[in-house]
Structure 1
Amino acid sequence: MDLYITGAGVSSDSGIPTFRGSDGFWTIGSKNYTPQEMATRTMYKNNPGQFLLWYYKRFIKYRNAKPNKVHEYLVDKYLITQNIDGLDF
């Protein structure tokens, strides 16, 4: 049995930024806050509009993404993934 373990890099060819790359989700924050501040319950409670907009911009990329050749190769393999983009199915 072959087991594959994947993360954010697998989806980069589908147009989804990695977390720590130059255009990554943990690199690009808002005008006033770092990504680490944006992704907190405190931000949601204190600035819900800004919090939701930050996540909306992230999830819109997921919605428009298409599986790439790596996803297609892995479709019938044993896979453990950290991805939440839905392209691994």
Structure 2
Amino acid sequence: MSDPHARGTLSAKVQWSKVPTVVQKTIADNADGGNIEEIEKKTEIIGFKMTSIYEADVRKTDGSKIEIKIGEKGKLIAIDKD
């Protein structure tokens, strides 16, 4: 019998205090002084390995929104603009 979670993505909201320090630093470095509205941790299978990705929704000072995607070791993956 196969694991029902073996395909797709698992995700959950995460409090700032539970985000690894290296991920916090990458978020802060790329938020441009904006307000972090929500952080979500997603676990995906990439190359047959379970990988965690953090996604931070940020409202910048000009009112625009961005989503910052960071790997579990603090590496910036992408910044998506709304």
Query: What range is the shorter-chain TM-score in?
Result: under 0.3
More helix by share: 1
More strand by share: 2
Q: Which has the higher contact order (CA 8 A, sep 6+)?
A: 1
Q: Could you say which structure has the larger radius of gyration?
A: 1
Report the TM-score when normalising by structure 1.
0.22
